[in-house]
Structure 1
Amino acid sequence: MPARAARRPARDPAAAAAAGAGSAQLELTFEAPPPEAHGLAAPAADPRTVELPPGARWREVVADGQRIRFVLQRSRRRTIGFMIADDGLRVTAPRWVVLADIDDAVREKSRWILSKLRDWQARKERLALNRTRWENGGELPYLGRRVTLRLDAQRATGLAGDPAAPADGDVLWLALPADAGVARIRDTVQAWLQGQARQVFGARLELFLARTGLRINRWRLSSAATRWGSCTSEGNILLNWRLIHFPLDVIDYVVAHELAHLREMNHSADFWAEVGQLLPGFESARDALRRHDPASLPQFR
């Protein structure tokens, strides 16, 4: 699940992977957003709190009335490059380029750098707002809605509302005491979400199978770090439980994607035509998943 220039979307795998003798597997993958094309500038961290790599040094220039602090790293590369790192803007330059020329290069790109700094900061703020607080009153996404965590040891864990059609602000009650720690709250939420994923995904699979006449061998939840789903030539399907954070149309797209592999074990034009038959108008859900920034999902570990 976010807009930045030249951003690479989550991609489908380039080829089928071997899953055993005579068995091919197709996977629907996702990836964390990489640095933008040509490198990005990021606000420099406090130099007193950052341990620099060997040979690196802090520098600072003034451009357009603003200070730009950056880490300078020498290398064997032929050109001056800019990139985002944990310590902010990092400039990599050939060993033979003098400091004045490096400073001039930063000033020359300052308008572009400062624009990217603002974009980067805005993204950090959005992610901070979306970050789950594992405490009473925290929020997290469930089926595309924001639900609120409440602790009460006298109640059963469950959503106060329709779990199949949640609304923003619905309360997810956790059967925990008010002083429960972060790990206990997080684990209770994860267990509930995984239970809901089994119910929701199973129901969607049954719906598609009944409508199409397709058959699968079995399906189960996955906790894969980089795959939304996969399907083997033997008819075994995996669906990532983290899809339960997304709206139902996105879940349906991943289900249709994997079921389409029962007929087309590739990502050819015929495969996408098959997805279209299973789920007309799937493109908007596919594009939403491709634009998704995985960093915005709750962190369970």
Structure 2
Amino acid sequence: MDLTEQLDLFPDNPAPASRQAPPPVALLHPVSEATPTPRPPSLPANARWREVQAPQQVIGYVLQRSRRKSIGLMVNDDGLQVTAPTWVTLGHIDSAVIEKAAWILRKLRARQERQTHLATADTLWQHGGSVPYLGKRISLLLDGAQQTAVFEGQPYAPQDGDALRLALPADADRHRVRDTVHTWLQQQAQAWFEQRLHYFLEQNDLRIRRWRLSSAATRWGSCSSDGNIMLNWRLIHFEHDIIDYVVAHEVAHLRQMNHSKEFWRELERILPGFERARDALRKHDPGSLPLI
């Protein structure tokens, strides 16, 4: 009997024998058009939520103080993030947001459109189809003259519309295209997860016995008490911060084989501000990506 203790990132609940595939979902929480800056489920440490009335509508934002010398505005999948020096008043910060309201709303709506596309676009396993890769949607091109698959972009910093050129004839059937794409995605996952795992282990002076990719239906990652880590290859569909969260989560288990307060403190030490990536990933499980 194998008594090795294993911790899963999410419980592996038995799936029913037969069930309909869930509807398409966004890889990250979409931003509503009616409320373009919804409050995130959780805020980073030392951050606060504020709302300001702009000419078009109310804009909410996450405010963090820092040692920087000016006010910084950034729009990401959690909405508007504002960093400001400790000496700047809230009134001045609100004024900066109002001044840039048109730019902020334009960025938020562009972000929403991209996420909606990720959520609803079925995967067509053919020339001109597309798949999500590291949070972007890349195009599939079939090229019988190719010897191997070639990605026409930065491998670990893709942009929407970058092409993956496959060494397949134009009339290749969908199953062959799908299997070829899956093989390429798994190769990228193997290489990128290896880098991120090495980084977190080195930063925390930790060692593991071994690690490998998994294809589990209901878990994103796991860590055993004897130092074996498994990471689901489908994480490669998500953005970097979500991948880092899962990797750091499993690395934290090397010191805390539980989900106690001590574990979450260890994870916060390893990956400060992990909550946003955790909350985004909680909306999904590997089985919630039925089209890919």
2 CA distance for matches of 1:128 and 1:251?
19
1:277 paired with 2:269, answer: yes
Q: 1:234 aligns with which of 215, 218, 226?
A: 226
Tell me the equivalent position of 2:195: 203
Contact 1:29-1:226 within 8 A present in 2 as well = yes
Mapping for residues 1-301 of structure 1, pairs under 5 Å: 20-21=2-3, 23-29=4-10, 129-155=120-146, 156-292=148-284, 297=289, 299=291
Q: Output the TM-score relative to the length of structure 1.
A: 0.59
SS of the residue corresponding to residue 137 of structure 1 reads: coil
Contact 1:132-1:298 within 8 A present in 2 as well = no
1 CA distance for matches of 2:129 and 2:193?
25
Q: Shift of residue 218 of structure 1?
A: 0.3
Tell me the equivalent position of 1:61: none
Q: Shift of residue 128 of structure 1?
A: 7.6
Q: Which runs of 5+ in 1 are unaligned?
A: 1-18, 35-124
Contact 1:131-1:296 within 8 A present in 2 as well = no
Q: Deviations over 1:130-149 (max 9, x none)?
A: 32111111111000000011
2 CA distance for matches of 1:267 and 1:296?
24
CA 1:167–1:127: 2 relative to 1, 3 Å: closer
Contact 2:252-2:270 within 8 A present in 1 as well = yes
Q: Shift of residue 126 of structure 1?
A: 7.3
Contact 1:228-1:243 within 8 A present in 2 as well = yes
SS of the residue corresponding to residue 250 of structure 1 reads: helix
Contact 2:223-2:250 within 8 A present in 1 as well = yes
Q: Deviations over 1:254-301 (max 9, x none)?
A: 00100111111111111011111110010010011012365662545x
Q: Match of 2:210, as an amino acid?
A: R
SS of the residue corresponding to residue 237 of structure 1 reads: strand
Q: Match of 1:288, as an amino acid?
A: A
Q: Shift of residue 192 of structure 1?
A: 0.3
Q: Deviations over 1:140-170 (max 9, x none)?
A: 1000000011100112302101111100110
Q: Shift of residue 230 of structure 1?
A: 0.3
Q: Match of 2:231, as an amino acid?
A: L
Contact 2:141-2:164 within 8 A present in 1 as well = yes
2 CA distance for matches of 1:201 and 1:280?
19
Aligned alpha-carbon RMSD (Å):
2.3
Contact 1:148-1:169 within 8 A present in 2 as well = yes
Q: Output the TM-score relative to the length of structure 2.
A: 0.61
1 CA distance for matches of 2:5 and 2:287?
30
2 CA distance for matches of 1:245 and 1:166?
11
2 CA distance for matches of 1:29 and 1:192?
26
CA 1:139–1:228: 2 relative to 1, 3 Å: same
Contact 1:139-1:146 within 8 A present in 2 as well = yes
Contact 2:217-2:286 within 8 A present in 1 as well = no
SS of the residue corresponding to residue 226 of structure 1 reads: coil
